[in-house]
Amino acid sequence: PEAPKPAPVNKVSQYACQRRTTTENNNRIFTDAFEVLAEHYEFNDLQGRCLAFRRAASVLKSLPWAVRCVEATQDLPCLGEHTTAIMKEILQHGRSFEVEKILSDERCRTLKLFTSVFGVGPKTAEKWHRRGLRSFSDVLAEPGIQLNRMQQSGFLHYGDISRAVSRAEARAVGNIIDEAVHVITPNAILALTGGFRRGKEFGHDVDFIVTTAELGKEKSLLINIIDILKKQGLLLFSDYQASTFDISKLPSHRFEAMDHFAKCFLILRLEASLVEGGLQRAEGDSRDWRAVRVDLVSPPVDRYAYTLLGWTGSRMFERDLRRFARMERQMLLDNHALYDKTKKEFLTATTEKDIFDHLGLEYIEPWQRNA
């Protein structure tokens, strides 16, 4: 006789924005392996395969249980032959030989090393590799290589900014920014976004939205903040990008396009005395400060909800929110607005919840967006 069917369980959605994914990952052995493969395909310009492995990793991250046999995954979306084969390898041997081969691949290692420098993307890394460069000292000694300002700071502060930022350090940075904005205006609005808003314990940077309740006043805000930080001697690097936001150009149809709001990418000097429990430091490092990467974005206040949703991430969560809007709702979502193609109108939102409602999605809390 046939075995009794297990009780039906809710099907896992193919869209990350319909899954709840906390920072607790029960399938790290698989998702770490998938991330290595995804990066490998990214370096080799195979975007489709890269995305397939990122999607598979994202599905496994959302599971409240650990995968113990591949049969248990047969009803899950986004898992294909290749991902399943890797899982099988890991379940049988405790590791994947395919992944180990990539990890020992000279080109992949070098590209990973180079892209770990602030300001160095895959293209530059590739260029350096093709010139035969294999280490930082190779790059720095190579005649004819012109590092831009960002890359120079990247090398200068490499040790500090490649070290994770703790929650306590993020809080201390928040206090510094908060003080600066309130010198400028009493109507300032400051919100932590990015990984720390999603409840992560560590991040590669600290992300904030800063704006003011008076529409239009946000235009000079970042410039003024940068000025104050500079006068306080806290600014180690700043790349300011003025707003190119034009309401008449909405909606932007480009998938995964960066937004057009004013933003800046900073490196700040953080004093140990401001951090509860002290700094994250390398062993033997006795300095009383460290460098921290900080991102600020400054949208007009009527765009606040879209910006908050867009900058909270994760990247996979954002990607699938947009894909869901497009594929399932005939709507266009980006960091500026939500456009209903059927009704030919923009939908207004003052909170993230409004946007989920417009999309007919259950609200997902920030700490459940670690897709």
| Footprint of ligand ATP (CB under 6 A) | 194-195, 200, 203-205, 207, 258-259, 295, 310-311, 313-315, 318, 335
* Cross-strand partners of 268: 235, 292
The verdict on whether 207 is a catalytic residue reads: yes
Nearer to Mn ion, 194 or 300 (CB): 194
- DSSP designation for 67: -
Binding of Mn ion at residue 42 (CB under 5 A)? no
User: Which segments of the chain does DSSP mark as H helices, in order?
Assistant: 28-43, 47-61, 81-93, 97-103, 106-115, 122-130, 136-141, 149-156, 158-161, 167-184, 194-197, 221-231, 304-312, 315-329, 352-359
Residue 194 beta carbon to Mn ion: minimum distance, rounded to whole angstroms: 3
Nearer to Mn ion, 13 or 22 (CB): 22
Residue 205 CB, shortest distance to Mn ion, in Å, is 4
Q: Under a CB-based contact definition with an 8 Å cutoff, are residues 280 and 170 in contact? A: no
Give yes or no for a contact between 209 and 297, defined as CB atoms under 8 angstroms apart.
yes
- Min dist CB 285 to Mn ion, Å, is 23
Question: Cβ of residue 204: shortest distance to ligand ATP, in angstroms?
Answer: 4
**Residue of closest CB approach to Mn ion:** 194
- Residue 160 lies near Mn ion (rule: CB under 5 A): no
- What tokens appear for 25 in the block? 């990952």
Q: Which of 205, 218, 259, 352 binds Mn ion (CB under 5 A)?
A: 205
Backbone angles phi, psi at 176, to 5 degrees: -65, -45
User: 295 catalytic, yes or no?
Assistant: yes
Q: How many residues contact Mn ion, by CB under 5 A? A: 6
Residue 169 as a binder of Mn ion (CB under 5 A): the answer is: no
Among ligand ATP, Mn ion, none, residue 318 binds (CB under 5-8 Å by kind): ligand ATP
> Annotated catalytic residue: which of 105, 138, 227, 295?
295
CB of 313 to ligand ATP, least distance (A): 3
Interface residue with Mn ion, options 207, 218, 259, 318 (CB under 5 A): 207
Q: Is 119 in the site for Mn ion (CB under 5 A)?
A: no
Instruction: Name the nearest CA neighbour of 240 among 212, 266, 268, 218.
Output: 266
CA distance to 8, 320, 326, 335, 356, per residue, from 341 (Å): 36, 18, 9, 17, 17
Q: Round to whole Å and give the CA distance between 271 and 275.
A: 7
Candidates 194, 299, 300, 366: give the one binding Mn ion (CB under 5 A).
194
Which amino acid does the sequence have at 108? C
Task: Give 229's Cβ-side CA count (13 Å radius).
Answer: 26
**Active-site annotation holds for 178:** no
Quick one: what does residue 119 bind among ligand ATP, Mn ion, none, with the CB cut-off 5 to 8 Å set by partner type?
A: none
Binder among 98, 138, 239, 295 for Mn ion (CB under 5 A): 295
Residue (of 215, 214, 195, 216) closest to 205 by Cα position: 195
Q: Are 30 and 67 in contact (CB under 8 A)?
A: yes
Q: Which is nearer to Mn ion, 169 or 205 (CB)?
A: 205
CB of 67 to ligand ATP, least distance (A): 24
Cβ distance to Mn ion smaller for residue 35 or 295 = 295
Residues labelled as active-site residues: 205, 207, 295
* Residues within the interface to Mn ion (CB under 5 A): 194-195, 203, 205, 207, 295
